[in-house]
Structure 1
Amino acid sequence: MGGEDHERRAPFQAVVLADSFNVTFRPFTLERPKALLPLCGVPMLEYTMEFLEAQGVEEAFVFCCAHYDQVIDQLKKKWKLRHKDDEDAPGERYVTGRMKVVPIISTSCVSVGEAMRIIYDEGVVSSDFVLITGDTVASFDLKSALAEHKRRRKADKSAIMTMVVKRAETRALRKRWGDHDLVLQIDPDTKQVLGYEEEPNNKNYVNVDVSSCFLDRSQVEIREDLVDCYVDVCAPEVLGLFQDNFDYQNLRRDFVGGVLSEEELGNKIYAYELSPGVEYAARIHNPRSYDAVSRDVWAHWLFPIEVGQTRAFTSRTHNAGIVRRGIQDCMQDAGVSASRSVEVGNDCQIGEGTTIGDNSKIHASFVGKGCRIGRNVELNCCHLLDGVNVADGARIHFSMLSDGVAVQEGAVVSEGCLLGSGVVVGKDHVVPAFSRVSVIRQTQEDSDSEEELESPAVVEGAAEEAKEGEAWDATLVGEGGKGLPWSAKSSQTRREWRRHSISPHYAQLEAAGMAGALPETSDGEDRSDDSETDETDSEGLELDPEEVFHSEVRETFLRCVKERFDQTNALIELNALKIAEDRTFADCARFIFTTIVGLCFPVAKTVSKEYKDLYASDSLDLADKLHRAKFLKHLKSLLSEWGNLLQRFLKNEDDQVELLLTFEEYCSDDGVFHAENGSMCAEGFCQVLQLLYDSEVISEEAILSWAEEKESAEEEDKVFLEKARPFVAWLAEADEESDEYSSEEEGEDSDEG
Structure 2
Amino acid sequence: MAGKKTKSHPKAEMGQDDRLQAIVLTDSFETRFMPLSYDKPRCLLPLANVPLIEYTLEFLAKGSVKEVYVVCSSHASQISSYIETSKWNFPWSPFKIFTIMSPEARSVGDAMRDLDNKGVITGDFLLVSGDAVTNLEFDKMWDFHKRVHAKDKDHIVTTCLSKATQYHKTRAFEPATFILDKSDNRCLYYQEIPLASSKEKSAVEIDPDLLEGVDEFVLRNDLIDCRIDICSPQVPAIFQENFDYQMLRSDFVKGVLSSDLLRKHVYAYITDEYAARVESWQSYDSISQDFIGRWCYPLVLDSNLMSDQTYSYESGHIYKEKDVVLAQSCKIGKCTAIGSRTKIGGGSVVENCVIGRNCHIGAGCTIRDSYIWDNTIIGNESVINHSIIADKAKLGNNVMLNDGCIIGFNVVIEDSKRLEKGVRVSGTPIKSMDDSALGLSDSEDINEEPQEYAEIAIEICGAKGSGYLYEDPLSEDDHEGPTNEKMISGLSHRLEEACLSDASISSVPKSKKKRTLSTNSVYTDREENPSELEEDEEDFEFEGVATVKRAIENNHDLDTALLELNTLRMSLNVSYHEVRKVTVIALLDRVYHFIATQTLGPKDATVKVFSQWGQLFRRQAFDHEEHVDLMNVIMEEVVEQNFEKPDLILFSAFTTLYDTGILEEEAIYDWWTHVSKDPKFDNVKRFVAKWVEWLQEADEESSSDESEGEEEDQEEDE
Do both share a fold (TM > 0.5)? Answer: yes
| Counterpart pick for 2:351 among 348, 363, 366 | 363
CA contact (8 A) 1:445 1:488 kept: no
Structure 1 residue 323: deviation in Å? Answer: 2.6
SS in structure 1 at match of 2:429: strand
1:607 match = 637
1:54 match = 62
Does 2:123 align with 1:127? yes
Structure 1 residue 240: deviation in Å? Answer: 0.9
Distance 2:653 2:316 in 1: 35
2:426 match = 438
1:472 match = 456
1:115 match = 111
SS in structure 2 at match of 1:242: helix
1:338 match = 326
Does 2:199 align with 1:167? no
| Counterpart pick for 1:106 among 102, 114, 123 | 102
SS in structure 1 at match of 2:329: coil
Distance 2:433 2:162 in 1: 35
Give TM-score, length-normalised by structure 1.
0.67
Distance 2:611 2:38 in 1: 39
SS in structure 2 at match of 1:403: coil
Matched pairs, number: 572
- RMSD of Structure 2 on Structure 1 (CA): 4.3
- Larger RCO, structure (CA 8 Å, separation 6 or more): 2
Instruction: Write out per-residue CA displacement over residues 106-140 of structure 1, whole angstroms, 9 at most, x where no aligned residue.
Output: 22222211111111122121111110011001111
Instruction: Write out per-residue CA displacement over residues 126-160 of structure 1, whole angstroms, 9 at most, x where no aligned residue.
Output: 11111001100111121221222122222222110
Q: Match of 1:228, as an amino acid? A: D
2:466 match = 482
Q: Match of 1:634, as an amino acid? A: T
Q: Match of 1:288, as an amino acid? A: Q
SS in structure 2 at match of 1:269: strand
Distance 2:282 2:656 in 1: 38
Instruction: Write out per-residue CA displacement over residues 476-504 of structure 1, whole angstroms, 9 at most, x where no aligned residue.
Output: 33443322221122335697677336766
Structure 1 residue 180: deviation in Å? Answer: 2.5
Distance 1:603 1:517 in 2: 20
- Structure 1 residues 165 and 462: CA distance shift in structure 2, 3 A: farther
Q: Match of 1:314, as an amino acid? A: M
Percentage of pairs with the same residue: 25
In structure 1, stretches of 5+ residues that fail to align are 83-94, 519-535, 575-584, 619-629, 640-662, 668-675, 678-753
Distance 1:408 1:117 in 2: 49
Structure 1 residue 357: deviation in Å? Answer: 1.0
SS in structure 2 at match of 1:194: strand
Instruction: Write out per-residue CA displacement over residues 657-711 of structure 1, whole angstroms, 9 at most, x where no aligned residue.
Output: xxxxxx99x99xxxxxxxx99xxxxxxxxxxxxxxxxxxxxxxxxxxxxxxxxxx
Q: Match of 2:237, as an amino acid? A: G
SS in structure 2 at match of 1:161: strand
Give TM-score, length-normalised by structure 2.
0.70
CA contact (8 A) 1:389 1:405 kept: yes
1:14 match = 22
- Structure 1 residues 25 and 588: CA distance shift in structure 2, 3 A: farther
SS in structure 1 at match of 2:236: helix
- Structure 1 residues 516 and 422: CA distance shift in structure 2, 3 A: farther
Does 2:71 align with 1:63? yes
Instruction: Write out per-residue CA displacement over residues 291-347 of structure 1, whole angstroms, 9 at most, x where no aligned residue.
Output: 1111222222222222111x2x412xxx33x43333443211112111110011011
| Counterpart pick for 1:267 among 241, 255, 264 | 264
CA contact (8 A) 1:59 1:100 kept: yes
Q: Match of 2:656, as an amino acid? A: L
SS in structure 1 at match of 2:57: helix
Does 2:663 align with 1:634? no
Map 1:55-454 → 2, pairs under 5 A: 55-79=63-87, 81-82=89-90, 95-170=91-166, 172-173=167-168, 175-176=169-170, 178-200=172-194, 205-213=203-211, 215-274=212-271, 276=272, 279-309=273-303, 311=304, 313-315=305-307, 319-320=308-309, 322-444=310-432, 454=438
Instruction: Write out per-residue CA displacement over residues 62-121 of structure 1, whole angstroms, 9 at most, x where no aligned residue.
Output: 101221222122212323544xxxxxxxxxxxx433311111112222221111111112
CA contact (8 A) 1:17 1:134 kept: yes
Structure 1 residue 167: deviation in Å? Answer: 1.0
Map 1:492-531 → 2, pairs under 5 A: 499-500=487-488, 506-511=494-499
SS in structure 2 at match of 1:296: helix
Instruction: Write out per-residue CA displacement over residues 498-556 of structure 1, whole angstroms, 9 at most, x where no aligned residue.
Output: 733676662355438899779xxxxxxxxxxxxxxxxx989653612234544654554
Distance 1:589 1:202 in 2: 43
Structure 1 residue 41: deviation in Å? Answer: 1.2
CA contact (8 A) 2:159 2:268 kept: yes
Distance 1:425 1:476 in 2: 7
| Counterpart pick for 1:567 among 599, 604, 617 | 599
SS in structure 2 at match of 1:282: strand
Structure 1 residue 264: deviation in Å? Answer: 2.6
Structure 1 residue 197: deviation in Å? Answer: 1.3
Does 2:477 align with 1:456? no
Distance 1:564 1:40 in 2: 21
- Structure 1 residues 324 and 567: CA distance shift in structure 2, 3 A: closer
Instruction: Write out per-residue CA displacement over residues 362-415 of structure 1, whole angstroms, 9 at most, x where no aligned residue.
Output: 010001111110111111100111111110111111111111111111111111
CA contact (8 A) 1:363 1:381 kept: yes
Map 1:688-707 → 2, pairs under 5 A: none
Distance 2:383 2:324 in 1: 20
Structure 1 residue 637: deviation in Å? Answer: 11
Q: Match of 1:291, as an amino acid? A: D
Distance 2:455 2:249 in 1: 43
